[in-house]
């Protein structure tokens, strides 16, 4: 079987999928964390891998950037590949001054002005929530593995290059910790298909400082978040 955007056989996609944004990152995770992994998709260079983390079969499938791309892949994975759980593992910019580079956010709600949910299913809500039971598992796994996480809402933007705005005002008014570009599509698709989804985001840049992670640092520092997602998958 195949869909418009995925060439995998149905049995080659696991019930639990971890979604980084970058296809290079799915390769990094497979090579460094999985056993007996194989490439299961390469359409448009969206390299997805399925393999074992300890005794758990997982698929690492890249989402690409933005709601339209995340929307396509998570839709087809939930609907056509019978995936039960998707955990986005990505990066975000931080608005809230209590955050520092490399902090890991567990996303409770995703706020967006995007029209994705309306186009998907006539949904007008601007705030959509991740799955509470999944978040409980991730929170207890984080505690057991000594990984610090911050739980809160995130702003999901359509335009990376936005007109000037006051991030402090957005942070307070929308009650969001920071900004990324994919959770709103993922959570709405999960709602539509009655599946489970959440997101872990590593802070890669700060709006209140010029400190930044290099792309190499970014890759390496993501290990805490990847470990947390994979360890949590053992309990699903």
So which residues are the catalytic ones? 205
d(CA 88, CA 234): 16
Shortest approach of ligand HPA to residue 207 CB, angstroms?
7
Shortest approach of ligand HPA to residue 100 CB, angstroms?
14
Where on the phi/psi map is residue 35: left (φ > 0), alpha (ψ -120 to 50), or beta? beta
Angle at 195 between CA 31 and CA 59, to 5 degrees: 10
d(CA 221, CA 227): 11
Shortest approach of ligand HPA to residue 89 CB, angstroms?
13
When the beta carbons of 65 and 123 are compared against ligand HPA, the nearer one is 65
Neighbours of 35 (CB within 10 A): 10
End-to-end CA distance of the chain: give it in Å, rounded: 26
The binding site for ligand HPA (CB under 6 A) comprises 91-93, 157, 160, 179-181, 204-205
Whether the CB-CB separation of 110 and 130 falls below 8 Å is answered with yes
Nearest residue relative to ligand HPA (C-beta):
93
When the beta carbons of 14 and 177 are compared against ligand HPA, the nearer one is 177
When the beta carbons of 134 and 206 are compared against ligand HPA, the nearer one is 206
When the beta carbons of 1 and 100 are compared against ligand HPA, the nearer one is 100
Q: Which residue stretches of the chain are H helix?
A: 23-33, 66-79, 116-121, 132-144, 167-173, 183-192, 215-221, 223-233
When the beta carbons of 6 and 70 are compared against ligand HPA, the nearer one is 70
Shortest approach of ligand HPA to residue 71 CB, angstroms?
16
Whether the CB-CB separation of 128 and 188 falls below 8 Å is answered with yes
Whether the CB-CB separation of 208 and 97 falls below 8 Å is answered with yes
Burial 36-59 (b: 16+ CB within 10 A, else e): ebeebbeeeebbbbbbebeebbbb
Shortest approach of ligand HPA to residue 163 CB, angstroms?
13
């Amino acid at each position: 079987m195949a869909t418009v955007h995925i060439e995998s056989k149905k049995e080659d996609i696991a019930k639990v999928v971890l979604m980084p944004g970058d296809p290079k990152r799915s390769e990094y995770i497979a090579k460094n964390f999985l056993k007996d992994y194989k490439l299961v998709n390469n359409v448009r260079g969206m390299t997805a891998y399925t393999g074992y983390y300890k005794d758990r079969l997982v698929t690492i499938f890249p989402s690409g950037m933005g709601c339209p791309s995340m929307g396509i892949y998570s839709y087809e994975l939930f609907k056509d590949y019978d995936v039960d759980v998707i955990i986005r593992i990505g990066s975000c910019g931080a608005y809230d001054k209590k955050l520092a580079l490399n902090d890991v956010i567990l996303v409770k709600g995703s706020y967006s002005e995007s029209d994705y949910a309306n186009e998907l299913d006539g949904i007008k809500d601007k705030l959509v929530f991740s799955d509470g039971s999944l978040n409980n598992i991730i929170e207890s796994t984080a505690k057991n593995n000594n990984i610090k996480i911050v739980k809160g809402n995130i702003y999901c933007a359509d335009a990376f290059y936005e007109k000037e705005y006051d991030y402090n005002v957005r942070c307070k008014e929308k009650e969001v910790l920071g900004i990324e570009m994919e959770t709103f599509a993922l959570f709405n698709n999960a709602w539509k298909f009655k599946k489970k989804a959440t997101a872990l985001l590593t802070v890669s840049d700060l709006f209140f400082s010029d400190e930044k992670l290099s792309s190499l640092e970014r890759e390496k520092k993501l290990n805490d978040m990847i470990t947390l997602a994979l360890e949590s998958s053992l309990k699903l």
